[in-house]
Structure 1
Amino acid sequence: MNALHQYLFDACRAARLGEPMPPVPGTHDVAVLRAARDRRRFERVVAGRRAGGGLRLRLRAALRRRRPSS
């Protein structure tokens, strides 16, 4: 059973019992990703490391290494 099947079962049950409908699958995905990112940033700050920019710095360093010296 996938998330859509479970949603349909829950929606049918909620309609029968007069309860509020469950949220559609994927409704809160962006909020969950943001919360995970914020938690990771918080843990980095508590550990004494930079909170952000790590990916950009690594990409810049990789591009500098690949560039042929003239």
Structure 2
Amino acid sequence: MSITQHYLLDTYRARKLGEPDPPAPGAQVRQVVREVRDQRRFRAVLAGRPAHGRIRQALGRWLHLRSRSTC
């Protein structure tokens, strides 16, 4: 059974029982991603690392070292 079929079945059962409809699949994905990102930033600050721009800094260092080694 697919996610959509399961959701439709749950919605049908909820309406038959007079209960509120269940949330649609994927409705809270943005909120979960935002919370995970905030948690990672918070842990970075507690560990004394920069909270943002870490990937760009790492790529910049890597590219800088790579360009120096080819000269």
User: TM class, shorter-chain normalised?
Assistant: 0.7 to 0.9
After TM superposition, the structure 1 stretch with the greater mean CA deviation from structure 2, 36-45 or 54-63, is 54-63
* CA distance, structure 1, for counterparts of residue 11 and residue 52 of structure 2: 41
Q: CA RMSD in A?
A: 1.5
CA distance in 2, matches of 1:29, 1:57: 28
Q: How do 1:40-59 residues align onto structure 2 when only pairs under 5 Å count?
A: 40-59=40-59
Deviation at 1:56, TM superposition (A): 0.7
Q: Give the match for residue 20 of structure 2.
A: 20
Sequence identity of aligned pairs in percent?
Answer: 45
Higher share of residues assigned helix: 2
For structure 2, the 5+ residue unaligned runs are none
Task: Work out whether 1:32 is the aligned partner of 2:37.
Answer: no
Using the size of structure 2 for normalisation, the TM-score is: 0.80
1:61 alignment partner in structure 2: 61
Tell me, in whole angstroms, the C-alpha distance in 1 between the residues paired with 2:38 and 2:25: 23
How many residue pairs end up in the alignment? 69
TM-score by length of 1: 0.81
